[in-house]
Structure 1
Amino acid sequence: MLLIYPPVVKPCEPPAGIAKLAGTLRGQGVPFTLLDANLEGLLSLLSGKCGENIASDTWTRRALNHLPDHLQALRGWRGYRNRDRYQRAIRDVNRVLEQVSPKRSHVHLSLANYEEKDLTPVRSEDLLASADCPEANPFYPYFRSRLHGLLESLSPSRIGFSLNFLSQALCTFAMMGFLRREYPGVKLVLGGGLVTSWMSRSDWRNPFSGLVDDLIAGAGEKPLLNLLGRHPGDRDFPPDYEDFHEHAYLAPGFILPYSASRGCYWRRCAFCPEKAEGQPYSAIPVTRAIAELQELVQRNRPVLIHLLDNALSPALLSALTEFPPGAPWYGFARITEHLADLEFCRSLKRSGCVLLKLGLESGDQAVLDALQKGIELTTASRVLKTLKEAGVATYVYLLFGTPPESPAAAEKTLSFVVEHASCIDFLNVAIFNLPAWGPEMSGLETRLFYPGDLSLYRDFVHPLGWDRLRVRHFLNRKFKRHPAVREILGHDPPVFTSNHAPFFVMSPGMSIF
């Protein structure tokens, strides 16, 4: 079995989904090989092995000359001690990727995204077109050589792709198209978060039957074992990162991604994509999650733990304070009363918590109530101040243009952020996208958002006239220009955002307890 993680995703940590599959396959004695084609493909392009002579202007020549130093800086603490140096490294690396093949002007490529001018990943016919012409993909020289070598040496009966983001879709289908043409007898399996979202649509009809042999929605461990003719059993194996240790990810050490749950324990927010998709919540027992984390830390010696849960449960947070995992960690948490307790937050800090991501969404209480967020602004205020005092950094997420929001409500969000600017380390500012399915759709006039049969969102007529254009104007002309907001946004690591943010509030001595 060959498991592939395709381009393009931020290349800073190993893919958690494939690591989870690896743990299960190894635990069941199934032979397999892992390929992080995302990291390898990007590094191959940066090395020049798959590109043409791109040094056609001063910026590109300078970026190429300094590329080894930039990559080394992003892989060591030196790159995170100076924001100007860090931003210059990111800009130059992206410049090289953008210019890697001038003849492919239809492609926009960066460390975090892949787009094509004439093909969109939300149209199945475009994905199939990418499969029909894999040599048009800039990663083609890399994956042609790499896959030829692997298939000749391994002769796998099945090849699985983990497709989680739209930025991976076109490259995934290009690779599958190549395999179907060159190795027609090999079975192709497609799973991952994006595939799960597609298959959760109420109108789902498989358009890929001629290309993909098996599609897997949700957790892939048991379905994959069934395809391989193995009895899954009831045992749940922890993720296995053994095969990723030699990979040169862009981070100052090994990042360990870990998920203690699937779905969200709150599950009440209006317009939630996961609720619309009907994804259930399931969690590993807290005692087992702590034991797995501690064992994984001992085995992998990470510089940082990335807890992937949609929202860390209060029970897990409490357990982490009592049984620290042994390395610095960060993750998403809901704004609740327990985070307003100073001693509790100090115990989180002592356990290794360096940063919490908080989904505030709005600074207007009426909007929060209408969205059923379960957040009180008075509590949010105390949480931000308490975390600041405890020394835990915050990455606050805001969402503008939701159906209950008005221009006046957006102004209140600005006021809240300005009032608490000293307690907010990083900000994520986004414009609301309406999930294409869900119970809240009935009260809105909707229309196409993206013209594609795989689109997960709909455009809508805002009931208060607060449309996307007006929201964008407010954000660009007022919100982001406020001095207090502008200063916070200046802290945000470009491209890698929250994945690199913890390194700007950590010190090298925190890497292992």
Structure 2
Amino acid sequence: MLLIHPPVVKPCESPAGLAKLAGALRCHGRTCTVVDANLEGLLYLLTDKAVTGAASDTWTRRARNHLQDHLQDLGDWGGYRNRDRYQRSIRDLNRVLEFSTGRKSGTHLTLANYEEKDLSPLRSDDLLAAASLPEANPFYPYFHGRLSGLLEALSPPMIGFSLNFLSQALCTFAMMGFLRREYPSVKLVLGGGLVTSWMSSPNWRNPFSGLVDDMIAGPGEGPLLELLGSGLDHEDCLPDYGDVWKNPYLAPGFILPYSASRGCYWRRCAFCPEKAEGQPYAPIPADRSVSQLQVLVQRYRPALIHLLDNALSPALLNAVIEAPPGAPWYGFARIEEHLGDPEFCRLLKRSGCVILKLGLESGDQNVLDALLKGISLTRASEVLKTLKKAGIASYVYLLFGTPAESRESAEKTLAFVAEHAHCIDYLNVAVFNLPAWSAEVSSLQTRTFYSGDLSLYLDFIHPLGWDRLRVRHFLDRRFKRHPAIREILLRDPPVFTSNHAPFFSLSSGTSRL
């Protein structure tokens, strides 16, 4: 079987979902090949071989002339010791990618995104249109040759695509359209996070039956094995990164992505998409997770471990402290009592923890209570200060424009962040999107947000008049202009954000093991 990770997402780490599938298939005696078409496709477009024509402006010529230097900077520790140099590399690589599309009107391609003006990934008709004319996709010269070569060499009876983000959708369907036209006997299977969200809709009706043979929602190991004529005998299979771990990802070493659970152990937050989709919490036992991590670290020698859990459970954190994986790591954690304990955080740092991502959301206690976050601002303050003292960087996530928030609430968030700016290393500032089938939708007056039968969100009339336009105006004109907050935002790595943030700590030596 052929497993494909399609463009476009950040090309800095290997596809965790496909590594898990590969591990399960091989563990059950099935052969498979994993192809990171995202990384391969982006690097193809960045080469002089694919970028034809003379650049008409100085910026593009300079970016192309220094292309290899920029790629080397992002793949070397030295590139993370100079933020200005790092940012210039990102800007220039995006410039070359823009030029590689021929500056087609309405086409937007970067290291992390792909959009077309005339085709929307939120409309099934547009995705089918992308499949009907794969030659129009900028990655066509890459995947035409690459997929043809793989099909001729391997003759796989089945090809699986992992579609997790909207930025991958148009390219995924272009690739499937090419395969359906040129290799009609090959079975096409579609899964991944975005597909799971589509299929969780109470109104789901499969519009792709003429193109895709099977669609899989949720974990794919069992369904794939069934399609191949066997069953899932056991789940204790290690992820297998063997096909991709030596790829030239844009990072100063291999990043090992690992999930110790599916879903979230809290599962109480209002407007939670996963709760709306009915995703249960399914953890791997903590002792087994750390044992697997230790084996994987020995096998692949990663520069960094990315723990992908929606929230790292206290049990897992304790297990990591007791049996450190042997490489630096980072992940998402809830703001809870154990992170306010100086000794616990000191041991967490000793285990290899470089950064913790924290979903604070708001600096107004009333908003946090209304959203059922289970967070107190007193505890949040304590956690931020304790992590800072322990030498663990914090990446704080804020969410503006929720139904419970007002302008006054947003001002309180600004005040909280400014007061704690000395112990906040990075910020992610987002505007709230209303999940289309969350339980709380019935209490709001809603309207269409993005048109399309595959849209996952709704717009709503804010009960306090704090609409998106006012929120964005506040963020742009007030929040982001506060001197202390602006300083934090300037530290955020462009495009790669939290995926590259740990390397800035590691390259400085403050968090190097």
TM-score (norm: length of structure 2):
0.99
SS, match of residue 491 in structure 2: coil
Q: 1:433: which partner in 2?
A: 433
- Within a 5 Å distance, the mapping from 1:204-353 to structure 2 comes to 204-353=204-353
Residue 245 of structure 1 and its aligned partner are, at CA, apart by 2.4
Q: How many angstroms apart in 2 are the aligned matches of 1:235 and 1:128?
A: 35
Q: 2:506: which partner in 1?
A: 506
Residue 153 of structure 1 and its aligned partner are, at CA, apart by 1.0
Q: Contact 1:259/1:309 (CA < 8 Å) preserved in 2?
A: yes
Q: How many angstroms apart in 2 are the aligned matches of 1:293 and 1:340?
A: 26
**CA distances 1:200-250 after superposition (whole Å, capped 9, x unpaired):** 001000000000000000000010000000122133312011111220000
Q: How many angstroms apart in 2 are the aligned matches of 1:444 and 1:25?
A: 45
Q: How many angstroms apart in 1 are the aligned matches of 2:41 and 2:438?
A: 37
**CA distances 1:118-176 after superposition (whole Å, capped 9, x unpaired):** 00101000000000000000000000000111101111100000000000000000000
**CA distances 1:15-37 after superposition (whole Å, capped 9, x unpaired):** 00000011011111111111100
Q: Contact 2:505/2:511 (CA < 8 Å) preserved in 1?
A: no
Q: Contact 2:45/2:139 (CA < 8 Å) preserved in 1?
A: yes
Residue 102 of structure 1 and its aligned partner are, at CA, apart by 1.9
Q: 2:360: which partner in 1?
A: 360
Q: Contact 2:164/2:192 (CA < 8 Å) preserved in 1?
A: yes
Residue 65 of structure 1 and its aligned partner are, at CA, apart by 0.6
Q: How many angstroms apart in 2 are the aligned matches of 1:154 and 1:27?
A: 20
Provide closer, same or farther for how the CA distance between residues 429 and 97 of structure 1 changes in structure 2, counting only shifts above 3 A. same
Q: 1:82: which partner in 2?
A: 82
Q: Contact 1:189/1:214 (CA < 8 Å) preserved in 2?
A: yes
The AA in structure 1 aligned to 2:307 is L
Q: How many angstroms apart in 2 are the aligned matches of 1:218 and 1:330?
A: 24
Q: 1:99: which partner in 2?
A: 99
Provide closer, same or farther for how the CA distance between residues 401 and 512 of structure 1 changes in structure 2, counting only shifts above 3 A. closer
The AA in structure 2 aligned to 1:375 is I
Q: 2:17: which partner in 1?
A: 17
Q: Contact 2:360/2:398 (CA < 8 Å) preserved in 1?
A: yes
Q: How many angstroms apart in 1 are the aligned matches of 2:238 and 2:398?
A: 33
Q: Contact 1:107/1:116 (CA < 8 Å) preserved in 2?
A: yes
Higher deviation after alignment, 54-63 or 187-196: 54-63
Residue 300 of structure 1 and its aligned partner are, at CA, apart by 0.5
Q: 1:381: which partner in 2?
A: 381
Residue 495 of structure 1 and its aligned partner are, at CA, apart by 0.1
Provide closer, same or farther for how the CA distance between residues 511 and 384 of structure 1 changes in structure 2, counting only shifts above 3 A. closer
SS, match of residue 332 in structure 2: strand
Q: How many angstroms apart in 1 are the aligned matches of 2:235 and 2:7?
A: 31
Following TM superposition, the consecutive aligned residue runs of length 4 or more in structure 1 with deviations greater than 4 angstroms are 508-513
Q: Contact 1:197/1:277 (CA < 8 Å) preserved in 2?
A: yes
Provide closer, same or farther for how the CA distance between residues 198 and 408 of structure 1 changes in structure 2, counting only shifts above 3 A. same
SS, match of residue 119 in structure 2: coil
Report the number of matched residues: 513
The AA in structure 2 aligned to 1:376 is S
Q: How many angstroms apart in 2 are the aligned matches of 1:509 and 1:361?
A: 30
- Within a 5 Å distance, the mapping from 1:36-55 to structure 2 comes to 36-55=36-55
Q: 2:473: which partner in 1?
A: 473
SS, match of residue 52 in structure 1: coil
Q: Contact 1:54/1:100 (CA < 8 Å) preserved in 2?
A: no
Residue 59 of structure 1 and its aligned partner are, at CA, apart by 0.2
SS, match of residue 505 in structure 1: helix
Residue 511 of structure 1 and its aligned partner are, at CA, apart by 9.3
Q: 1:405: which partner in 2?
A: 405
Q: How many angstroms apart in 2 are the aligned matches of 1:197 and 1:362?
A: 26
Provide closer, same or farther for how the CA distance between residues 286 and 397 of structure 1 changes in structure 2, counting only shifts above 3 A. same
SS, match of residue 243 in structure 1: coil
Provide closer, same or farther for how the CA distance between residues 397 and 389 of structure 1 changes in structure 2, counting only shifts above 3 A. same
Higher deviation after alignment, 215-224 or 233-242: 233-242
Q: How many angstroms apart in 2 are the aligned matches of 1:237 and 1:508?
A: 36
* Structure 2 residue 155 is matched with structure 1 residue 155: yes
Residue 103 of structure 1 and its aligned partner are, at CA, apart by 5.4
Provide closer, same or farther for how the CA distance between residues 379 and 510 of structure 1 changes in structure 2, counting only shifts above 3 A. closer
Provide closer, same or farther for how the CA distance between residues 122 and 218 of structure 1 changes in structure 2, counting only shifts above 3 A. same
Q: 1:179: which partner in 2?
A: 179
- Within a 5 Å distance, the mapping from 1:60-139 to structure 2 comes to 60-102=60-102, 104-139=104-139
Provide closer, same or farther for how the CA distance between residues 469 and 510 of structure 1 changes in structure 2, counting only shifts above 3 A. closer
Residue 194 of structure 1 and its aligned partner are, at CA, apart by 0.3
Residue 54 of structure 1 and its aligned partner are, at CA, apart by 4.8
The AA in structure 2 aligned to 1:373 is K
The AA in structure 1 aligned to 2:501 is A
Q: How many angstroms apart in 2 are the aligned matches of 1:375 and 1:511?
A: 28
Q: Contact 1:329/1:353 (CA < 8 Å) preserved in 2?
A: yes
Provide closer, same or farther for how the CA distance between residues 103 and 312 of structure 1 changes in structure 2, counting only shifts above 3 A. closer
TM-score (norm: length of structure 1):
0.99
Q: Contact 1:301/1:512 (CA < 8 Å) preserved in 2?
A: no
Q: How many angstroms apart in 2 are the aligned matches of 1:491 and 1:429?
A: 13
Residue 507 of structure 1 and its aligned partner are, at CA, apart by 3.2
